[in-house]
């Protein structure tokens, strides 16, 4: 008799194209890892049965690590559109005996879309940042699509909030 073990395959991938709803907040863990947090809004519109235009907005908590986190803090701002790829993660913490949960997107790739929103002059259009390689960081390279390494080897103890 042949017994086959069933392999379980799973995928945890999120793609978000939206606008930042908050300014990026950059912090460093006790071990020195950069972590950037911000929220992104995605919206969809439709016309209902009565002909009225409707819109629904979803808010997403984003967490970016390493060099990509520092670049997000430097080049993204509230209102700026960007493309993100990553995975969902849920964290739990206890405060005053109460368990709290949050679900966020652990971002691995960021592509800056278009120019910055009002007032932000430090933007670079269509720049792509992810965990693949480490090019030089002179200003001429900032306007091209390329990947930047990040250290995603962290534990929940490294999260500074």
The domain spanning residue 76 has which CATH number?
Answer: 2.40.50.140
Rounded CA-CA distance 19/79 in Å is 5
Residue 65 lies in a domain: yes
Provide the residue range defining the domain that includes 36. Answer: 14-45+54-112
Spatial separation of the C-alpha atoms in residues 100 and 119, rounded to whole Å: 36
123 domain-assigned: no
Residue 5 lies in a domain: no
pLDDT in tens, 90-139: 999 999 999 999 999 999 999 998 765 543 333 334 455 554 333 333 33
Q: What is the pLDDT of residues 111-121, one digit of tens each?
A: 998 765 543 33
Which DSSP category does 131 fall into? S
- Is the pTM value of this prediction over 0.75? no
How many independent structural domains does the chain possess? Answer: 1
Residue 116 in tokens: 């910055």
Instruction: Tell me how far apart the alpha carbons of residues 66 and 152 are, in angstroms, rounded to a whole number.
Output: 7
Q: In this structure, is residue 161 part of a structural domain?
A: no
């Amino acid at each position: 008799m042949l017994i086959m073990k069933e392999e379980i395959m799973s995928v945890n991938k999120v793609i978000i194209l939206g606008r930042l709803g908050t300014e990026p907040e950059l912090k460093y863990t006790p071990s020195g890892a950069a972590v950037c947090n911000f929220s992104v809004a995605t919206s969809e519109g439709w016309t209902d049965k009565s002909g009225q235009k409707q819109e629904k907005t979803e808010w997403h908590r984003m967490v970016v690590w390493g060099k990509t986190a520092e670049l997000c803090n430097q080049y993204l701002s509230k209102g700026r559109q960007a493309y993100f790829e990553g995975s969902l993660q849920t964290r739990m913490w206890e405060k005053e005996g109460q368990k709290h949960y949050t679900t966020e997107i652990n971002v691995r790739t960021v592509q800056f879309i278009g120019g910055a929103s009002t007032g932000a002059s430090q933007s670079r259009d269509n720049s792509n940042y992810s965990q693949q390689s480490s090019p030089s960081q002179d200003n001429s390279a900032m306007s091209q699509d390329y990947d930047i390494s990040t250290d995603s080897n962290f534990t929940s103890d490294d999260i500074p909030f």
